[in-house]
């Protein structure tokens, strides 16, 4: 078994047993990036020198017996996390020249755990997109079929893990951007409960929805990463002051009597029938593991995409007002006055999707429209949360497809924003409600991976991870990888 096909857990054991050093492991992945990433385009920046020096330090810790499970493990960060002294672009021309003066809390936590950072991953511009085609650095290819998109916005995060050029990565999920690309690339992704992982230093898109999480081969690996990422942070006022359990502790529990809710709204019109078949087969598998299936309803599901496309643009128009050409980021050449500076810096620095969102958001928040749009959308959000509250009185987890279809061709949805927005029809509700959700590889349709979505109750990450882990102990979809990268 070659190094890159091993899980984080296995790599961690190899390091502790001194079968391989962190420097060797890091070099192995740097070589794979060099070999494969010209085609995939999953990295914006490869931090080779820093990675090798972190690996050296990790080897010293391991030699002294001072290692934690992530010491010496190479990972890659979505380019939305601020990294001190390293370009943090957020996939935008606006921040192409931005060297962050500080680290995001997530980055600090990985540093503290002794992990090695391979580099910064490509993403949709300011995390707006479902195909990784809005990036200033060009589209990312899906390792299963390079004509297809990897999903977005964490497309680089998903593609790099699927091609095993990074053992694991981080992503962020505002409306589905961890789960949807994980689904399209055949890997495991977890969006934690809102407030579980600090947003400090994570460039804001829609602050009431954004949440960071791990993208990995397995649920066990996701638990290892979440152990490092989660926790209260006084620097993030929405971070929740709640102890972090050991997310690997519950991974052994059996699923007898687990109540799985299947929302009828997630299996209706719009769902590709082959994707539906894969999800039904996964549910059958859960029955053999002792789970009970309960039919449920989430009656306001149909309102989640429209509510999201008011809330997210409104919050983004406010968050992105800081990019004004004055303080940091792109500045236009030879402005004639202040207004010209603002207009041209923003006009030239942002791409079309970001501009579309800013304009929708500014409109929705303007005097006279605030009540009709933003306030109304917030009320709808309550209805959606209440649907889940009622469902979780009857069931332990909710299952359905992550995405209505498999990876689509590059370019296919570029002229149709609504078709693109519908990619997240099953993922957005969890963000609006603040609930944790996962995507787990569950099979193939049309030779492309299909993800099973599992949504849990607030702070139910341990259960969610175990529910995914038990499935992975009994299936091998998560071990499948594209032939060329073996």
Kindly list the catalytic residues.
Answer: 78, 153, 177
Report the alpha-carbon angle 178-158-92, nearest 5. 80
Site size for ligand GLN (CB under 6 A): 13
For ligand GLN, the closer of residues 46 and 354 by Cβ is 354
Could you say which of 15, 40, 95, 128 contacts ligand GLN (CB under 6 A)?
A: 128
Which window, 141-149, 169-177, 256-264, 459-467, contacts ligand GLN (CB under 6 A)?
169-177
Number of Cβ within 10 Å of residue 99's Cβ equals 13
Considering the complex, what minimum distance in angstroms separates the CB of residue 57 from ligand GLN? 33
What mask of x and - would describe binding to ligand GLN in positions 134 to 153, judged by CB under 6 A?
-------------------x
Q: Under the criterion CB under 6 A, does residue 173 sit at the interface with ligand GLN?
A: yes
Sign for the CA dihedral angle at 431, 227, 241, 461 comes to positive
118 phi, psi to nearest 5 deg: -75, -30
For ligand GLN, the closer of residues 174 and 227 by Cβ is 174
Report the alpha-carbon angle 470-474-479, nearest 5. 100
Residues between 290 and 329 that touch ligand GLN (CB under 6 A) = 312
CA distance 26 to 124: 26
Q: Under the criterion CB under 6 A, does residue 177 sit at the interface with ligand GLN?
A: yes
Q: Under the criterion CB under 6 A, does residue 211 sit at the interface with ligand GLN?
A: no
Q: Under the criterion CB under 6 A, does residue 189 sit at the interface with ligand GLN?
A: no
Which window, 4-12, 127-135, 320-328, 366-374, contacts ligand GLN (CB under 6 A)?
127-135
Element (H, E) at 59: helix 48-63
First-to-last alpha carbon distance for the chain, in angstroms, is 10
What mask of x and - would describe binding to ligand GLN in positions 423 to 442, judged by CB under 6 A?
-x------------------
For ligand GLN, the closer of residues 15 and 438 by Cβ is 438
Burial 113-125 (b: 16+ CB within 10 A, else e): bbbbbbbbbbbbb
CA distance 456 to 179: 14
469 in helix, strand or coil?
helix
Give me the helix-helix angle, 105-112 and 219-229, nearest 10°.
110
Q: Under the criterion CB under 6 A, does residue 213 sit at the interface with ligand GLN?
A: no
Residues in contact with ligand GLN by the rule CB under 6 A: 127-130, 153, 173-177, 205, 312, 424
């Amino acid at each position: 078994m070659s190094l890159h096909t091993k899980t984080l857990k296995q790599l961690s054991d190899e390091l502790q047993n001194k079968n391989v050093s962190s420097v060797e492991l890091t070099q192995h992945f740097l070589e794979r990036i060099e070999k494969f990433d010209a085609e995939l385009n999953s990295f914006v920046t490869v931090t080779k020198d820093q990675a090798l020096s972190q690996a050296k330090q990790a080897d010293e810790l391991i030699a002294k017996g001072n290692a934690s499970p992530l010491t010496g493990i190479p990972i890659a960060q979505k380019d939305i996390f601020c990294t001190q002294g390293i370009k943090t672009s957020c996939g935008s021309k606006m921040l192409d020249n931005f060297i962050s003066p500080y680290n995001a809390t997530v980055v600090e936590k990985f540093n503290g755990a002794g992990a090695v950072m391979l580099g910064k991953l490509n993403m949709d511009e300011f995390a707006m997109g479902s195909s990784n085609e809005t990036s200033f650095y060009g589209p990312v290819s899906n390792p299963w079929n390079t004509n297809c998109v990897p999903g977005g916005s964490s497309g680089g995060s998903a593609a790099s893990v699927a091609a095993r050029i990074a053992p694991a990565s981080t992503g962020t999920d505002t409306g589905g951007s961890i789960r949807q690309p994980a689904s399209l690339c055949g890997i495991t992704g977890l969006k934690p409960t809102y407030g579980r992982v600090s947003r400090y230093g994570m460039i804001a898109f829609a602050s009431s929805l954004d949440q960071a999480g791990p993208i990995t081969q397995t649920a066990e690996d996701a638990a290892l990463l979440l152990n490092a990422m989660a926790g209260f942070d006084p620097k993030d006022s929405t971070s929740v002051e709640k102890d972090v359990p050991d997310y690997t502790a519950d991974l052994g529990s059996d699923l007898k009597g687990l109540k799985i809710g299947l929302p009828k709204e997630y299996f209706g019109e719009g769902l590709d029938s082959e994707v539906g078949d894969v999800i039904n087969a996964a549910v059958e598998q859960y029955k053999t593991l002792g789970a009970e299936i309960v039919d449920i309803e989430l009656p306001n599901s149909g309102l989640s995409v429209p509510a999201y496309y008011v809330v997210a643009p409104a919050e983004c128009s406010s968050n992105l007002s800081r990019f004004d050409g004055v303080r940091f980021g792109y500045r236009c050449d030879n402005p004639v006055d202040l207004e010209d500076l603002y207009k041209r810096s923003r006009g030239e620095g942002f791409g079309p999707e970001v501009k579309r969102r800013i304009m929708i958001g500014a409109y929705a928040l303007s005097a006279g429209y605030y009540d009709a749009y933003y306030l109304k959308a917030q009320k709808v959000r309550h209805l959606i949360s209440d649907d889940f509250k009622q469902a979780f009185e009857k069931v332990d987890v909710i299952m359905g497809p992550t995405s209505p279809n498999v990876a689509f061709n590059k370019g296919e949805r570029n002229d149709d924003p609504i078709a693109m927005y519908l990619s997240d029809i099953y993922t957005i509700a969890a963000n609006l409600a603040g609930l944790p959700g996962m995507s787990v590889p569950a099979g193939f349709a049309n030779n492309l991976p299909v993800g099973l979505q599992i949504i849990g109750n607030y702070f139910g990450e341990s259960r969610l991870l175990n529910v995914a882990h038990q499935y992975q102990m009994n299936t091998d979809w998560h071990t499948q990888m594209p032939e060329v990268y073996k």
